[in-house]
Structures are given as C-alpha cells and as structure tokens.
Amino acid sequence: MDTLVVDHPLVAHKLTTLRDVRTDSPTFRRLTDELVTLLAYEATHDVRVADVTVDTPLMPMTGVQLTRPTPLVVPILRAGLGMLDGMTRLLPTAEVGFLGMARDEETLRPATYADRLPNDLSGRQCYVLDPMLATGGTLAAAMRLLVERGADHVTAICLLAAPEGLRTLAEKVGEPAATLRVVTAAIDDRLNEKGFILPGLGDAGDRLYGSV
C-alpha cells in the first residue's frame, strides 16, 4: 500500500481554508472541487496510455491517448460526490460507478446500501473518491470489492487521512495481484474516541451538503 501526501503550497492553502470552521458550504464545495483537481493530477501520474499518431497542421506526429478500458472513477456516497467534478475534469472520458457505504456510528463498521459498479473490472484502473480516511473500514471494504471484481490498480483519493485508517487499509486490503495507493493532502495526528480525524475538518458530508 503506497501513500502519497501531495506537498504543494496551493494544496496546503486550500486545505487550511477547508479546515476553518467559518468556511460556509458553498465555499467548502468550491475549494473541495479545486483541491481534488490538484490531487487528481498527482494521482493520475501513472494512468495508462498508448501511442497514437495524429496529424498536426504541419505534419504527422506520435503522441499518447488513454487506453481502453478507460479508468473507472468511484465516488463513495454521499460525501464522495463532492469530489467527482474535480476528478472528471481531468478524466472526462472516464466511466463513473457509484458505491453507497455508510459507517455505523456505534460499531464504526461499513454497510453497503448501493452498488452501481460493473461486475467485471478485469484490467481496470480505478480511482476511489472518499474525503476522509478515518477508521479506514469503509474505504477498505470499497477497495477490496474492486479488487475482488478484477481491478488491478486502485487509487484512493482523500482530502485527509489518519494513521489508524492507513494501517487498516494495509491490513485489510493487502492484495499482491493489485497495485494499491492512497493520495491525500495531509496525514493528520489521530482519531478521537468517536472515530473523527484530529485536527481534521469536521464531517465532510455535512460541510458539503448540510446536515440532514
């Protein structure tokens, strides 16, 4: 399990504003979109491409284009939806699948309530969108599901990660047949007794969409 913390001044600047309790939901949504685009740029560094010949106005040349099957982007509902536009801005031809997983606040274990993913992901690169890697249970279950369906390269893009969550992923998703990565803006200190990241930024879903 590889972990990449994106060290860039713009990433740090936007993340600091996201953490601020005074940041309202419209601003939070806009900054999340911008931050995910920056993270996605790093996360897609090894996206698969193939050579292709095109005609410029002056002469033919060899360039590259995304291979098929195209990457699959998987936002975990509901908070992952706030990251989707920022990701597809860089990968407009990617397919999008949806996975609904909720964390039981008592047991902290994930439960799947929606699955809109292809049954066969053989040879696919997948990018999972989940703002907060806290206990890691939800993201571990999502990544394990993708690997079980044949994905051979799964990258999780998170705004924040906790050390406990990263350990959970390493323990529960370890799969030699697939390349597994986490790309995040920061690794915070720890989790509190309720499983929230400290210092964190609060509940990402509530701050994106409001509490319902």
pLDDT band at 183, cuts 50/70/90? Answer: very high
In a domain, 60, yes or no: no
Give the residue numbers of the binding site for uracil.
197, 202-204
Closest CA to 158 of 100, 48, 75, 99: 75
Task: Indicate which CATH number applies to the domain containing 154.
Answer: 3.40.50.2020
Q: 59 pLDDT exceeds 80?
A: yes
In a domain, 179, yes or no: yes
In a domain, 54, yes or no: no
pLDDT of residue 211: 67
Give the residue numbers of the binding site.
78, 103, 130-138, 197, 202-204
Give the residue numbers of the binding site for 5-phospho-alpha-D-ribose 1-diphosphate.
78, 103, 130-138, 203
CA 143 – CA 173 distance, rounded (Å): 7
In a domain, 140, yes or no: yes
150-176 burial, b if ≥16 CB within 10 A, otherwise e?
ebbbbbbbbbbbbeebbebbeeebebe
CA 27 – CA 168 distance, rounded (Å): 32
In a domain, 55, yes or no: no
pTM for the model stands at 0.91
Domain span including residue 139: 2-48+66-209
In a domain, 53, yes or no: no
pLDDT of residue 48: 92
pLDDT of residue 121: 93
pLDDT digits (tens, 9 = 90+) for 139-152: 999 999 999 999 99
Tell me how many domains the chain contains: 1
